[in-house]
């Protein structure tokens, strides 16, 4: 049973557009929801995170929207740039252990 | 990545041989994790540690063992490597278990032939 489902698997966006990646989780015990960005050949890097008592968090061009009742959260990348081209992973954590989605490969076309 | 190093970066080994991967951190973080990354599967937790000599299994622990004799080092051992263990292995550290993200190492690409 996959506890964190991520979609889409891949995404192509034009420069300046909005990239949206969605995740859904099963376990209501999860209490921390981070997003990671990974470039080829590198380890994932923490991008932004949210707690379930907050509905939205914004850091620069990156925003997490969180819907606790629907058990869904999403990452929005505003004004997407070619440098944002990477693989993005959502995760859900409980007692420090994170369960990851399968990842979304984002390509931003110039 | 600053503060966390994995070794080796690449390794090719034969089926049936034992293999040990090392994760070393200089951040003095209490929590350390081993994940494997495979295409289409995201990252899956193998084992984790919440202190020296305190370890526990993750979702894909079969065929793996770990040890943590010092705060800074977390070793992952494949007891008898199989082709299904060909993967990229990532170590991660975390300062606390609550409301805190991970810092990942650069990974070890392991190929079992």
Q: What is the pLDDT of residues B87-108, one digit of tens each?
A: 999 999 999 877 789 999 999 9
Flag whether residue B97 sits within 8 Å of chain A, measured between CB atoms: yes
Q: Residue B20 CB: number of other CB atoms within 10 A?
A: 15
Compute the average pLDDT of residues A65-87: 97
**Which residues in chain A have their CB less than 8 angstroms from residue B90's CB?**
43-44
User: Given the structure tokens 């975390």, which residue do they identify?
Assistant: B94
Of A41, A95, A103, the CB nearest to B42: A103
Compute the average pLDDT of residues B82-91: 97
Of B41, B43, B94, the CB nearest to A96: B94
- Tell me the pLDDT of chain B averaged across its residues: 94
pLDDT for residue B2: 64
CB-side exposure of A68: number of CA atoms within 13 Å?
12
Distances (CA, A) of A79 to A16, A19, A50: 4, 8, 21
Tokens (6 digits) for A30 = 């999860």
Tokens (6 digits) for A64 = 């997490």
Task: Please answer yes or no on whether A96 and B1 come within 8 Å at the CB atom.
Answer: no
CA distance B79 to chain A (A): 24
* A1 pLDDT higher than 70: no
Flag whether residue B83 sits within 8 Å of chain A, measured between CB atoms: no
Compute the average pLDDT of residues A3-14: 96
CA distance A79 to chain B (A): 25
A1 vs A83: CA distance, rounded Å:
34
- Residue pLDDT, tens place only, B30-80: 999 999 999 878 899 999 999 999 999 999 999 999 999 999 999 999 999
The vertex-A11 CA angle with A6 and A14, nearest 5°, equals 145
Q: Where are the beta strands (DSSP E) in B1-113?
A: 4-7, 10-13, 19-25, 31-38, 42-51, 54-57, 64-70, 73-78, 87-94, 103-104, 108-112
Task: Please answer yes or no on whether A44 and B100 come within 8 Å at the CB atom.
Answer: no
- Residue pLDDT, tens place only, A37-72: 999 999 999 999 999 999 999 999 999 999 999 999
* A7 pLDDT higher than 70: yes
């Amino acid at each position: 049973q996959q506890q964190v489902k991520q979609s889409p698997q891949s995404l192509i966006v034009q420069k300046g557009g909005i990239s949206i990646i969605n995740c859904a989780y099963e376990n209501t015990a999860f209490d921390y929801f981070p997003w990671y960005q990974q470039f080829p050949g590198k380890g994932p890097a923490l991008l932004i995170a949210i707690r379930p008592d907050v509905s939205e968090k914004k850091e620069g061009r990156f925003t997490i929207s969180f819907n606790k009742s629907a058990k869904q959260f999403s990452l929005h990348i505003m004004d997407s740039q070619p440098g944002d081209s990477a693989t993005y992973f959502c995760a859900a954590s409980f007692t420090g252990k994170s369960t990851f989605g399968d990842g979304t490969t984002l390509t931003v076309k110039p | 990545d600053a503060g966390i190093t994995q070794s080796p970066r690449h390794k090719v080994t034969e089926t049936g041989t034992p293999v040990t991967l090392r994760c070393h951190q200089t951040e003095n973080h209490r929590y350390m994790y081993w994940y494997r990354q495979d295409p289409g599967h995201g990252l899956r937790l193998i084992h984790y540690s919440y202190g020296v000599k305190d370890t526990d299994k993750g979702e894909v622990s079969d065929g793996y063992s770990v040890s943590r004799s010092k705060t800074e080092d977390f070793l992952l051992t494949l007891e008898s490597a199989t082709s299904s263990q060909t993967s990229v292995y990532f170590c991660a550290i975390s300062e606390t278990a609550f409301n805190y993200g991970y810092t990942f190492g650069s990974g070890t690409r392991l190929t079992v032939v």
